Structure 1
Amino acid sequence: MVRAAGASPAAGAGNAPQDPRRTRTERRRMSGRVHQVLATLGYGDAIGHEVLGIQRVLQGAGYESEIFVETADRRLERLTTDYREMVGALAPDDVVIHHFSIGSRASRTAYALPGRMALVYHNITPPEYFVGIHKDLVKLCFRGRRELTAYIARCELALGDSEYNRDELADLGFTSTGVLPVVPDFSHLDLPPNTMISAAFDDGWTNVMFVGRIIPNKKFDDVIRAFHVYHTRHNPRSRLLLVGSYSGFERYLAMLYGLIARLGTPDVHFLGHVSNEELTAFYDIADLFLCASEHEGFCVPLIESFYKRVPVLAYAATAVPATMDGGGVLYSTKYPFEVARLMAAILDDQVLEDSIIASQDTALARMQRRDFPGTLLRFVDQVRALAPRPAPQVAWDFWSQFDQAERLEELRQFRPAVYKALPPDPGRGTRDAGRAGSTAPIPATRARDAASRPPDPAPRTPDPAPRTPHPASRR
């Protein structure tokens, strides 16, 4: 079923006007630097769209604004600067918007430099989802969640891009928090659709689609099981289109292919990473967007489906209900026969489908009425009103203590007798707060972060990272 691109009654907010309270004269008088730092600027992903949207607002308000990264997609390199260029360039009066995902060299460099910091938290997938799938990500996600606590004393403001993420920050101990909503910029979906996609899949069959990276927390296995029941019991003229990169998760992809073979499910298509023109075409031919994800910090494809007027059926977990905001249909069962019945009910009843799309239009209109530029600039004003921050003093082994804490936590969980036999070490500061002789602070309140934080930095500053050529550098 082909829909007109941009058929939603709400206009994209990527071109939203600046805060009307800031006149042109005020913007000319405004001076200062507000930069962003993150590990990677990706092409076509939600964080990348948000970073570029933030830069447009900041530059439109008169701020000098760079994007410092470790790596960038080659199509976006010209918009970025190597993160090592921050060393010697940042001043105490600057503001750094730090997009924290998994702890990185860019994050650690920004931590040790002068400037007031506003942290934006996009959430980190709980590491247990990657056990047996990607051992490196198990370690990175565990370490990233621990490293996040180190920024409690470093940040002037901590922002989640959803209320769910803001709640996590508050639970961890960040005192000044807020919500910076995702930039609802749909310009990438207004491009002419790829005609080859339409020719291949717009053939009268029912197209069920999900968009997202092929990773375990998004529960592609649940999507496949539900589609299998729908295909075999309700509509044999249907196919499943799974759009998203599987790079680095080939083992999980192989497991999904094994599941498809065991079920004997035909017409399941893994389409990999696609261009914006191809993504537009897939949304245009989709009849239903089916999401079974168990962990989302926001889930932008839900809102993209709203914009493209594709009915959404989604599992009610983490941030998904708040993101949908009354639009679409939520379900709470893991039973694939029940999910398949819901799919059939939506796809076989045009009146019901129209009412679902109307609810999505209403939810999207509410989202696009939010004043993103004004909200962002108010948060920037809040941080700039605080005293300039000189570079903190960071112990030479400050970050290595997270590795040590990871090893201790592994002992605590899997070899408790060995852990309990360890002698107290007041100098280490990575033992549970309840153990005698430990100087570690009280751990974070969430159970999954039961191990304590590292100690406050000692008065010693490391040498800056070596400055070597990097493809993201413009200098």
Structure 2
Amino acid sequence: MTPAAERTEVSAAALSVHQWVPAAHKGDAIGDSARRVRDLLRARGHASEIFALTIDDDLRHEVRPFTAPEARRGDVTIFHFALPSPMTAAFATLPGGRVLQYHNITPAHFFADYAPHICRLAMLGRQELATLVGHADLALGDSTYNREELDALGFAPTGVMPIAIDLERITRAPRRPALEKILGDGLINILFVGRIAPNKRIEDHIRLAEHYKRYVDSHYRFIFVGRHDAVPSYYATVRALMEKYQMPADRFWFTGPVPNADLAAFYRHASAYVSLSEHEGFCVPLLEAMAAGVPVLAYGAAAVPETMGGAGVVFTPKDLEFAAEWLGRLIYDDTLRKAIIEGQYARLEAFSDARMQAHLDALLAPFA
């Protein structure tokens, strides 16, 4: 945010502040953030609704269709941009305050060898984003990494407003006894959360497992929670690498999407969280792992070092033997593990509701 955003108290009259998200899916970081922001806005006395082009059935009581006339009647509209959609042209013509929040588009080159249609969609998304230059009163990235992309395109003024995260869905989730019995079978659970996509470099997790098995411990289980059908040819490549290394299939668990209670159980029983992604605009699972008390080992690409904020273990270059050694230390060195977890808990203060309310108050002050 601009300097005004750093103030913790901003007095503003009640406004109608609506949010646009192209697709409302439960468990999606952007949609989850929009609902969190809506609740914080309402708690501040503002009228606030979310409008979407496509809405999951279980969210229809919370999210309204974009065709509703009220979608274009907000005093302020926050448009969450992450892919091309008809919302872009509509946003440019709004009469009220226009706030763009950019959540980043994965660079097209990651998909070139696996999914030409996604590669094309990514290129179109960046082209469409550029059409909004001069048509937003404020352009926000959810990280400085994303803000710098907005600056390079010519947006002004720009700022940073992090994703609003409901960490209680992890910390206060109900127990899952049957799943927890499986996870508590004595193997070391090493967790990753996110879709199986080329930028996440899941193949590097497989290579890391080979180093970990060889130099640290053979009693491991790598767990990948998230969709694995988004880029089928890439998932097939990952599986082929497992066969090449003769990895036992039962030590690699690809769960697909799971409900919040199951996700919390995976975090609860993880000995470490590992991210080897080479492109992240923010990366919510890093903070979820912190909230669950799981030490994080992350490759320092794109916005990852910023999100980590000095917590956990962030490493570069991508030396997987070095990473395997650190992974072993995080799991078995109790003194180090305790210090890392304490540092991670401290980092979460930057994403508290109070901090988020301060961001929102400062954002709305000029429009009041």
Common fold: TM-score over 0.5: yes
Deviation, 1:20, is 6.3
For 2:117, the equivalent position in structure 1 comes to 136
Q: Does 1:101 align with 2:82?
A: yes
- Deviations along 1:250-295, whole A, 9 cap, x unmatched? 2211111101000111211111101100001001110010110111
For 1:364, the equivalent position in structure 2 comes to 348
For 1:308, the equivalent position in structure 2 comes to 292
For 2:63, the equivalent position in structure 1 comes to 80
For 1:299, the equivalent position in structure 2 comes to 283
- Deviations along 1:80-114, whole A, 9 cap, x unmatched? 1211224x8634x7211100111112333333443
1:234 to 210, 216, 219: 216
Q: Specify the code of the residue in structure 1 equivalent to 2:173.
A: L
For 2:141, the equivalent position in structure 1 comes to 160
For 2:52, the equivalent position in structure 1 comes to 69
Structure 1, 110-119 or 139-148: larger mean CA deviation: 110-119
Determine helix, strand or coil for the equivalent of 2:189: strand
Deviation, 1:219, is 0.7
1:120 to 101, 104, 111: 101
Deviation, 1:221, is 0.7
Deviation, 1:31, is 4.3
Determine helix, strand or coil for the equivalent of 1:84: coil
Measured in 2, the distance between the counterparts of 1:72 and 1:225 equals: 38
Q: Specify the code of the residue in structure 1 equivalent to 2:87.
A: A
For 2:30, the equivalent position in structure 1 comes to 47
- Deviations along 1:328-351, whole A, 9 cap, x unmatched? 001113232222122122222111
Q: Specify the code of the residue in structure 1 equivalent to 2:208.
A: A
Query: Does the aligned pair in 2 maintain the 1:220–1:292 contact within 8 Å?
Result: yes
Q: Specify the code of the residue in structure 1 equivalent to 2:43.
A: G
- Deviations along 1:387-428, whole A, 9 cap, x unmatched? xxxxxxxxxxxxxxxxxxxxxxxxxxxxxxxxxxxxxxxxxx
Structure 2 length-normalised TM: 0.92
1:179 to 157, 160, 165: 160
Unaligned runs of 5+ in 2: 1-7
For 1:373, the equivalent position in structure 2 comes to 357
Q: Percent identical across equivalent pairs?
A: 35
Measured in 1, the distance between the counterparts of 2:327 and 2:162 equals: 30
Determine helix, strand or coil for the equivalent of 1:75: helix
For 2:323, the equivalent position in structure 1 comes to 339
2:18 to 23, 31, 35: 35
Measured in 1, the distance between the counterparts of 2:115 and 2:175 equals: 34
For 1:209, the equivalent position in structure 2 comes to 191
Query: Does the aligned pair in 2 maintain the 1:133–1:252 contact within 8 Å?
Result: yes
Deviation, 1:184, is 3.2
Deviation, 1:59, is 1.9
Name the Cα RMSD after superposition: 1.8
Determine helix, strand or coil for the equivalent of 1:271: strand
Measured in 1, the distance between the counterparts of 2:127 and 2:108 equals: 12
Measured in 1, the distance between the counterparts of 2:61 and 2:321 equals: 49
Give the structure with the higher percent helix: 2
- Deviations along 1:209-236, whole A, 9 cap, x unmatched? 1111111101111111101221233211
Query: Does the aligned pair in 2 maintain the 1:37–1:110 contact within 8 Å?
Result: no
Query: Does the aligned pair in 2 maintain the 1:37–1:107 contact within 8 Å?
Result: no
Query: Does the aligned pair in 2 maintain the 1:242–1:269 contact within 8 Å?
Result: yes
Query: How many matched pairs?
Result: 358
Query: Does the aligned pair in 1 maintain the 2:82–2:125 contact within 8 Å?
Result: yes
Query: Does the aligned pair in 2 maintain the 1:327–1:359 contact within 8 Å?
Result: yes
Deviation, 1:145, is 0.6
Query: Does the aligned pair in 2 maintain the 1:198–1:281 contact within 8 Å?
Result: yes
Change in Cα spacing, 1:237 to 1:31, as seen in structure 2 (3 Å) is closer
Query: Does the aligned pair in 2 maintain the 1:333–1:339 contact within 8 Å?
Result: no
Query: Does the aligned pair in 2 maintain the 1:38–1:107 contact within 8 Å?
Result: no
Change in Cα spacing, 1:179 to 1:228, as seen in structure 2 (3 Å) is same
Q: Specify the code of the residue in structure 2 equivalent to 1:277.
A: A
Measured in 2, the distance between the counterparts of 1:114 and 1:47 equals: 24
Determine helix, strand or coil for the equivalent of 1:152: coil
Higher CA-based Rg? 1
Structure 1 length-normalised TM: 0.72
Measured in 2, the distance between the counterparts of 1:210 and 1:71 equals: 28
Query: Does the aligned pair in 2 maintain the 1:39–1:107 contact within 8 Å?
Result: no
Deviation, 1:247, is 2.8
Measured in 1, the distance between the counterparts of 2:10 and 2:350 equals: 21
Determine helix, strand or coil for the equivalent of 1:236: coil
Determine helix, strand or coil for the equivalent of 1:78: coil
